[in-house]
């Protein structure tokens, strides 16, 4: 069985309205929350084989802070442009194209795509709001990433920074 972790990027800064969406950085809370989430995953013994990240600056920074807490090498973070502003179909393609040697994959990206993906994969759960730095951990009832389909997920955990406080 494969394990998938979806993490929404940390809270981003809106201080400079002229900055392109992809270039927005994390604000102070976003930086703190990303490290907190990384620590929470470490404390749970989570060890992703791969971390695949949107090309947005706020997602990349979130990934770096989480990777640091997990002792996952920053140079092994994988950027995937298809995650940025992705709909459900594009995200399913990203999941289905994960290398089959990977047992646990972590995707770091955006809403509403991540909510849609979680809701499609986990039949008993309907997320109506995935907070910034929110985490959905699931086990997939599939031995191959390429065969992952609707309803194949079993929820292991859904939490965010505020639920950890």
CA quadruple 74, 76, 81, 86: dihedral sign:
negative
pLDDT of residue 122: 96
- CATH number for the domain formed by residue range(s) 2-10+21-164: 3.40.50.1240
pLDDT of residue 125: 83
The three-state (H, E, C) secondary structure of the chain, written as one string:
CEEEEEEECCCECCCCCCCCHHHCCECHHHHHHHHHHHHHHHHCCCCCCEEEECCCHHHHHHHHHHHHHHCCCHHHCEECHHHCCCCHHHHHHHHHCCCCCCCEEEEEECCCHHHHHHHHHCCCCCCCCCCCCCEEEEEECCCCHHHCCCCCEEEEEEECHHHHC
Residues 99/105, Cβ–Cβ less than 8 Å:
no
pLDDT of residue 153: 97
**pLDDT tens, residue by residue, 62-109:** 999 999 999 999 999 999 999 999 999 999 999 999 999 999 999 999
Q: Mean of the pLDDT values across residues 9-25?
A: 91
pLDDT of residue 99: 98
pLDDT of residue 126: 87
Whether the ω angle into residue 112 lies within 30 degrees of 0, i.e. cis, is: yes
pLDDT of residue 106: 98
Q: Mean of the pLDDT values across residues 101-127?
A: 95
In degrees and rounded to multiples of 5, residue 103 shows phi and psi of -95, -35
Q: pLDDT band for position 14 (50/70/90)? A: confident
**pLDDT tens, residue by residue, 141-152:** 999 999 999 999
Residue percentage of the chain with pLDDT more than 90: 90
Cα gap 20→138, rounded to integer Å: 33
pLDDT of residue 124: 86
Q: Give the global pTM.
A: 0.97
Q: Report the chain's mean pLDDT, rounded to a whole number.
A: 96
Decide if pLDDT at 123 tops 90.
no
CA quadruple 39, 102, 116, 112: dihedral sign:
positive
Query: Nearest Cα to 69, choosing from 103, 33, 25, 108?
Result: 33
């Amino acid at each position: 069985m494969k394990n998938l972790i979806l993490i929404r990027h940390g809270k981003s800064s809106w201080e400079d309205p002229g900055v392109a969406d992809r270039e927005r950085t994390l604000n102070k809370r976003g930086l703190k929350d990303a490290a907190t989430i990384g620590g929470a995953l470490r404390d749970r013994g989570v060890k992703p084989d791969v971390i695949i990240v949107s090309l947005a600056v706020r997602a990349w920074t979130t990934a770096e802070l989480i990777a640091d807490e997990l002792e996952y090498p920053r140079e092994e973070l994988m950027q995937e442009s298809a995650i940025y502003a992705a709909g459900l179909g594009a995200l399913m393609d990203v999941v289905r194209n994960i290398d089959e040697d990977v047992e646990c994959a972590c995707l770091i990206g955006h809403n509403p795509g991540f909510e849609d993906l979680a809701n499609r994969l986990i039949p008993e759960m309907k997320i109506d709001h995935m907070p910034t730095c929110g985490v959905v951990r699931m086990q997939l009832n599939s031995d191959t990433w390429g065969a992952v389909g609707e309803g194949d997920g079993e929820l292991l955990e859904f939490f965010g920074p505020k639920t950890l406080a």
